[in-house]
Amino acid sequence: MEYQQLLEHIRAEVVPAAGRGRVADYIPALAAVDPGRFGMAVATVDGEVYGTGDWRLPLSIQSVSKVFSLALVLREDGEKIWSRVGREPSGHPFNSLLQLEHDQGIPRNPFINAGAIVVTDRLLTLTGDARSAVRDFLRTEGESSAVGFDPVVAASEADHGHRNAALAHLIASYGNLENPVPDVLDHYTWQCSVVMTCRELALAGRFLARHGTGASGERILSRSDAKRLNATMLIGGTYDSAGEVAYRVGLPAKSGVGGAILAIVPNRCAVAVWGPGLDASGNSVAGLAALDAFTTLTGWSVF
């Protein structure tokens, strides 16, 4: 089946699921998004891009940004981050405080909020401006200068960011932050507020399908680090549903509470899906249905 035909087929199958689930409302600005939206884009390793539905509408990538901040830290700083963040499944909600206390301030993986706060802290030390580093990377790899921040979403999250503040302070209490808590939270929150389209997101994730090679052919990550980042997405990218997503989809994937999911098919393509309605773990209901259909129809999974 051709890619375009495949995407249209999936959209027809999944559209009934668009609107199911609950739009994130703990960040009030996200609750204003139309729950019926659905978009999907595929960027192939050899440079083709396909899309369907709302694939050219800007969306709030939220925690999908965590993939790119980790990639930048791995690129700049090698393996050092793994002494400050684990790489095991969490089995807890993405904003859990419970586990962090138990693990004495070493977050279980880089994709729960606590882990991403530590990664952003390191990126801030390395670059002096973590949020711009993430945005600039997404502009380059996403091949679009339109990638930017949404100040309304950033302000809305900052106004309701008590849990993230609690996580950051708890991490700091264990000596696992290098920068002041307000600075780290500020960069983390802005990084989550990045807006871009499914098209741009699929393009930005493509280096992970290309074993670490970026849009212009330069190496972003070593082959090993690209493998490791994909593996970490598989075990932690969808939080306490990582097992279910491995079972249904069988691809490394990273979700965000804006309803986006980025999934990687090594050697073939990156897939970005968007549907704002979330399941109890904070993963897009329509997005997972679409990825489930994608791997079922193509037979492309890592298993």
Site string for ligand GLN, 13-52 (x = CB under 6 A): ----------------------------------------
* 247 has catalytic annotation: no
Distances (CA, A) of 4 to 59, 61, 177: 22, 24, 46
Q: Is 261 in the site for ligand GLN (CB under 6 A)?
A: no
Residues 6+ apart with CB under 8 A from 173: 105
> Judged by CB, which is closer to ligand GLN: 126, or 166?
166
Q: Is 94 in the site for ligand GLN (CB under 6 A)?
A: yes
Out of 67, 119, 257, 273, pick the active-site residue. Answer: 257
Q: Closest Cα partner for 133 from 58, 61, 141?
A: 141
Out of 282, 284, 285, 287, point to the residue binding ligand GLN (CB under 6 A): 282
CB of 238 to ligand GLN, least distance (A): 9
Out of 246, 257, 272, 293, point to the residue binding ligand GLN (CB under 6 A): 257
* 301 has catalytic annotation: no
CB of 216 to ligand GLN, least distance (A): 29
Q: Characterize 227-247 residue by residue with b for buried, 16 or more Cβ atoms within 10 angstroms of its Cβ, and e for exposed.
A: bbbbebbbbbbbbbbbeebbe
Binders of ligand GLN among 164-183, rule CB under 6 A? 164
Q: Is 63 in the site for ligand GLN (CB under 6 A)?
A: yes
77 in Cβ contact with 126 (< 8 Å)? yes
CB of 94 to ligand GLN, least distance (A): 4
Q: Is 96 in the site for ligand GLN (CB under 6 A)?
A: no
CB of 194 to ligand GLN, least distance (A): 10
* 254 has catalytic annotation: no
Q: Closest Cα partner for 44 from 225, 267, 222?
A: 267
94 in Cβ contact with 113 (< 8 Å)? yes
* 174 has catalytic annotation: no
> Judged by CB, which is closer to ligand GLN: 78, or 91?
91
Distances (CA, A) of 71 to 130, 144, 205, 272: 12, 19, 10, 18
**What value, to the nearest 5°, has the Cα angle with vertex 290 and ends 212 and 240?**
70
Give the total residue count for the chain: 303
Out of 195, 239, 254, 265, pick the active-site residue. Answer: 239
Distances (CA, A) of 264 to 139, 187, 250: 19, 26, 10
Out of 52, 62, 179, 213, point to the residue binding ligand GLN (CB under 6 A): 62
Out of 23, 42, 65, 66, pick the active-site residue. Answer: 66
Instruction: Return the number of other C-beta atoms located less than 10 Å from residue 173's C-beta.
Output: 12
Tokens of 189: 């929150």
Identify the DSSP state of 262. E
Residues 6+ apart with CB under 8 A from 52: 4, 7, 8, 10, 11, 39, 40, 41
Out of 60, 63, 65, 241, pick the active-site residue. Answer: 63
> Judged by CB, which is closer to ligand GLN: 95, or 222?
95
Out of 8, 44, 76, 95, point to the residue binding ligand GLN (CB under 6 A): 95
Binders of ligand GLN among 184-213, rule CB under 6 A? 192
Kindly list the catalytic residues.
Answer: 63, 66, 188, 239, 257
Contact footprint for ligand GLN (CB under 6 A): 62-63, 94-95, 113, 157, 164, 192, 256-257, 282
